[in-house]
Amino acid sequence: MEPDALLKVDGRALCFRCGSLFDALAEALLEADAQDGTPTRPIVILNERSLVPAKRAPRTDGLPFEVPDDLPPLQPIDSALDVTETLRGKESSRNLWYGAVVVLLTLAMGLQLAWQYRGELLLRYPTLEVLCSYVECRRDVIHAPEQFRILERNIRPTSSEPGSLTLSVRVRNDAELAQAFPDLQLSLLDHAGSLLIRRRLSPDDYMFPSPSSAQRVAPGEVFTIELDFEDPGHVVTSFVIDFL
């Protein structure tokens, strides 16, 4: 540097290598003393600005840390996955699990329906009988209310209760398997066939003593329904019984 320029800044200079502030005049005198062998008293510049440590200029790149000047540049890697490929991988894995769950639920529902209608399946596909040697799939009880047949029915005044009527019906189970005692629906009609009264009755209502929940009507078995009810008058001329 030019001596005049150093005098204007009180001899202060900035090192381009380390970025530190030093006294260039004192360093020049020391170098001259070393060259001619004459000791020279170091010069101290009595200036407050010379005592203030050097500060770096504020960063303008917005980074909260220092970046070394000799940092090597980043090199691209061919094997790295981008964000889109990573998300696609996760999505495909999740869809695989969802697909497996759907398949399992569908299979379970199909097996449940097959077990529910195993009697009909065995009748339609006799070759499935071989499976019954490994699994007890033959049904011994069914629910087929349409297989109950009314053999005889009548209605008469109740002998012990004036003003009451007794309904008596003999029913046979025509199904090939046993059935539980059915619920029945009693409908009272007038002379024009219009509905006057309708009531649903359970086995506890029309049988005495009441049958147990495990009691069944065997194939071909006949049982009798007897029901006492208040006489509705001459307006009722007929009745209909439906098994439910």
6 and 44: one domain?
A: yes
What pLDDT, on the 0 to 100 scale, is given for residue 54? 47
Q: Is the pLDDT of residue 169 over 60?
A: yes
Domain match, 159 and 208 both = yes
Answer yes or no: do 195 and 221 share one domain. Answer: yes
- Residue 51, pLDDT > 50, answer no
Q: Do residues 12 and 96 both lie within one domain?
A: no
Tokens of 104: 């399992």
63 with 11, same domain: the answer is yes
Residue range 118-137, pLDDT digits in tens: 777 877 887 887 787 777 77
165 and 185 in a single domain? The answer is yes
Give the pLDDT confidence of 187-198 residue by residue, as tens digits: 999 989 899 889
Q: Where is the domain boundary, 28, 50, 73? A: 73
Domain that holds residue 219: 142-243
Task: Tell me the pTM.
Answer: 0.48
Q: Is the pLDDT of residue 84 over 70?
A: no
Q: d(Cα 142, Cα 178) in Å, to the nearest integer? A: 6
Same domain, 127 and 204: no
Residue 66: both structure tokens together = 């220092």
Number of folded domains that form the chain? 3
Give the per-residue pLDDT at 52.
47
Structure confidence at residue 74 (pLDDT): 75
